[in-house]
Amino acid sequence: MKKLFAAATAALALAIGTAVPAHADEESYLTDLANNDFEGDVDVALEMGYQICTDVQHGVPQETTVQAIYENTGEGVAIADAQYIYEAAVIHLC
């Protein structure tokens, strides 16, 4: 089953801060998500990934960020998927 980033993912960045400037391996991050059946707007996925990095830099607990991802993405994204998105961002973008 494909997991879709809904338009609500844009609300994630608004809900928990601003994005970090681009400086990391965006292609690997997007490829990692695509290889694990995540589909959606590339800009939204990158914005969310960089927001995760901002949260990490500011000491936001991982559980808080994962919960925000889960609550602000489409119905096809489970809490385990939110955790995967978090980990992919940390590996490839942060």
Q: Hey, where are the domains in the chain?
A: 3-92
**pLDDT at position 30:** 96
The answer to whether 26 and 46 are in contact (CB under 8 A) is yes
Examine the pLDDT at 86 and tell me if it is beyond 50: yes
**3 falls in which pLDDT band (50, 70, 90)?**
low
How many C-beta atoms lie closer than 10 Å to residue 58's C-beta?
9
Of the pLDDT bands very low, low, confident and very high (cuts 50, 70, 90), residue 13 is: very low
Looking at residues 74-81, what average pLDDT do you find? 88
Chain Cα centroid distance, residue 69: 7
Contacts of 4 (CB under 8 A, 6+ apart): 38, 39, 40, 74, 76, 77
Q: In 3-state terms, what secondary structure has residue 3? A: strand
- Mean pLDDT confidence for 5-29: 56
